[in-house]
Structure 1
């Protein structure tokens, strides 16, 4: 006699939504990942963000077909009694299936090899100019080339973190450590931990780390309520100093972006030397140490301190372009408070992102971020395929009356500064019940 299926309600599933008691549903089957969450290759944060929900859309977006075979060991024998699939999700899954049948997830094109060649050329040219030229202007250009090298290596690190850009997992891991840790000084483990949480909880003020830049930036006045970051597990205080900094954030945005690299360096060290579980911690630390050997050594080869400072500032400032690009796709898009909804995967990604319009010959400049909507919906898709699928995504958004925002690079900058200015003006409102001090009041007395 066949065993009777055990069904649980959605409310009962929602009750298992924390560390040590974490259930999820995929296509109506319930899985207990309480003990395994800490070993999840994508980090624990994505699972905690979607805990107690049906996560089918997020699962198929992030995992290849062979991942299904590993689910059975987590099946707890329960099924979701009120499981249903929205029309948007049906169309999304159908589109993903069609892309898979077309082989788009396997067609990486020649972009990876070309980008690697560019990285090598920029690196060699920068080192050669420092060692073999005595010209101040050559050294300045070399600093800029170093910045461009970091940008292009960053795109490779991003791609290798989302899908396999090399012929094997081992070589792909080597590419990650080389482009991230060794060449750029940024831990790929930190990037994965941060970036996966961002993708899953796109534009949630308290779950998405890419919107949590207090005390320097706030994209919404909701952050003035000193809400708690569930990613960093700390309260984001809106105190007098934060109010002062945010009051001028539309002016400080670009200067801060020129030095944003420092934060990535710091975050990498904080994670690698923390008590958190870090996969391949030894490799990560060795890669970071390699960067902090060759880069300071190269800078020390410059003839005097003024040129050394100039070289570092030039490399940081050029890389600031990439940090601006990271912000443009999300800062002026819709935000919300609370965990993401697993049943609204498609809707959340389209509302929280925007695309940058550009001719195809400029795709190298944006590294795939020009099609951010498509990238968020299909994160495993190689960036060379994003332009190809854009019309299909746009049509699906039109069918379901969802936003599909595409603007120029200039317009995206204007929108971002506009968002920051709006929040800045709200922060200046002295009627807000925020702790004040005499310094803040004196500076803002005359606006």
Structure 2
């Protein structure tokens, strides 16, 4: 029996040694539930992008496959033509670098979580969340329309709009992970509305970027979130490599200082905007472009009559500036201080836990971070509705304790401080290697 009960007549059997030979760009095999698939040509047509599936070339992708695909029976029609055989009976289900015991325990936990209904979303939760976003948008505009555009009211309007944008960012994240509706097509449709019409960004850009991050978090050259294009050096490995190679694109020993100038202020208003436009235009994604334009048509229709063209553009940039700070601190405090290294071919659970940490639960922290303060649970169960993270957290902690894997939880303040502290430590490692090795 294959994945999802699929019968196969494939006679070829392979060893892990043979599978691991096929991990080049044009020759890719992977294993799902002991079945061997040749994805060399199909990877380019993969809905999640060629990179996210290519990251598992030569490896067992069972856990990642299960984590990302809600309807595995539907996926079988794509997998069946790619099936070329199976692992030999003498071969372990996992290659030698992975912890079979923790994988088995995690599969047991996931089965129990599904039986407990923790993958079922509460529609009212997401309706209320969307409602409070729309109310913030409406109240911000009505305030300056009715009382005028004084500096005080404009600043308050900007804060309200930035809050709405940040919260819409967490909401589009829910739909992008297919964690709200049972049918993927409804998640995709509402995702385009929220990220496109409410935020002015492209769903395709987010999907490819974010799923790569989840597939191999904090893995250099595979996770786009740690690809800083030479502006920053991260972790303990990359700084030493840069230093030994005498690479000095920036004064990295001061990166914890210039981070405040280049990181939070510029990521959303500059970097993300340019990336979105590049993706939509270069890939001719006209549907995403239409949603993107609908945001700006609505925005300028509301604010040009009040502020003029220049004033409306300036207000939008300031809102993006505020939102960018919010986004950067929330997303980086869970990952940047954690282990960042090259590919080690770890099992799913160990890889996710070494790359993530949690922030303490509170009503404010949950709202402020879109429940991404439960980053560990989110990475282990990316399709789980966020309101259930707190319910599965105790079981995840028990799993970690059983296998001796750290389960780290911090205060919100310490999480932010650790971002700067980790940048400073990495910069010092670079300087030491640059000067003395």
Which band: TM-score by shorter chain?
0.7 to 0.9
Q: Does 1:122 align with 2:164?
A: no
- The 8 Å contact of residues 150 and 183 in structure 1, kept in 2 or not, is answered as yes
Number of equivalenced pairs? 416
Map residues 15-414 of structure 1 onto 2, 5 A cutoff: 15-64=21-70, 65-67=72-74, 69-70=76-77, 71-80=79-88, 81-85=90-94, 86-108=100-122, 110-132=124-146, 133-166=148-181, 168-220=183-235, 222-224=237-239, 239-240=247-248, 242-244=249-251, 246-255=252-261, 256-261=263-268, 262-275=270-283, 281-303=285-307, 309=314, 312-338=317-343, 341=345, 344-360=347-363, 362-414=365-417
- The 8 Å contact of residues 29 and 38 in structure 2, kept in 1 or not, is answered as yes
Moved more, 306-315 or 59-68: 306-315
- The 8 Å contact of residues 235 and 341 in structure 2, kept in 1 or not, is answered as no
CA 1:248/1:105 → structure 2, altered by over 3 Å: closer, same or farther?
A: same
> Cα deviations across residues 323-362 of structure 1 (Å, max 9, x unaligned)?
2111111000011113x52x51110101110000022464
Gaps of 5+ in 2: 1-7, 95-99
Give the distance between the partners of 1:238 and 1:386, measured in 2 at CA.
Answer: 44
> Cα deviations across residues 63-83 of structure 1 (Å, max 9, x unaligned)?
234356333332113334513
Q: Does 1:6 align with 2:12?
A: yes
- The 8 Å contact of residues 107 and 382 in structure 1, kept in 2 or not, is answered as yes
- The 8 Å contact of residues 224 and 238 in structure 1, kept in 2 or not, is answered as no
CA 1:137/1:186 → structure 2, altered by over 3 Å: closer, same or farther?
A: same
Aligned mate of 2:426, from 419, 423, 426:
423
- The 8 Å contact of residues 63 and 348 in structure 2, kept in 1 or not, is answered as yes
Query: What secondary structure does 2:359 align onto?
Result: strand
Aligned-pair CA distance for 1:259: 2.7
Give the distance between the partners of 1:238 and 1:110, measured in 2 at CA.
Answer: 55
> Cα deviations across residues 166-199 of structure 1 (Å, max 9, x unaligned)?
4754443332112112221221111110111101
Moved more, 312-321 or 24-33: 312-321
- The 8 Å contact of residues 42 and 196 in structure 1, kept in 2 or not, is answered as yes
Give the distance between the partners of 2:239 and 2:221, measured in 1 at CA.
Answer: 12
Moved more, 396-405 or 121-130: 121-130
Hey, what does 1:443 align to over in structure 2? none
- The 8 Å contact of residues 337 and 422 in structure 2, kept in 1 or not, is answered as yes
Aligned-pair CA distance for 1:364: 1.7
Give the distance between the partners of 2:312 and 2:55, measured in 1 at CA.
Answer: 47
Query: What secondary structure does 1:273 align onto?
Result: helix
Moved more, 126-135 or 319-328: 126-135
CA 1:102/1:349 → structure 2, altered by over 3 Å: closer, same or farther?
A: same
Aligned-pair CA distance for 1:110: 2.6
Aligned-pair CA distance for 1:302: 4.3
> Cα deviations across residues 33-69 of structure 1 (Å, max 9, x unaligned)?
2222122222211211110111111112222343563
CA 1:139/1:147 → structure 2, altered by over 3 Å: closer, same or farther?
A: same
Query: What secondary structure does 1:82 align onto?
Result: coil
Aligned-pair CA distance for 1:5: 4.0
- The 8 Å contact of residues 139 and 307 in structure 1, kept in 2 or not, is answered as no
Aligned-pair CA distance for 1:299: 4.7
CA 1:38/1:306 → structure 2, altered by over 3 Å: closer, same or farther?
A: closer
Give the distance between the partners of 2:134 and 2:266, measured in 1 at CA.
Answer: 24
Gaps of 5+ in 1: 228-236, 435-447
Give the distance between the partners of 1:251 and 1:220, measured in 2 at CA.
Answer: 17
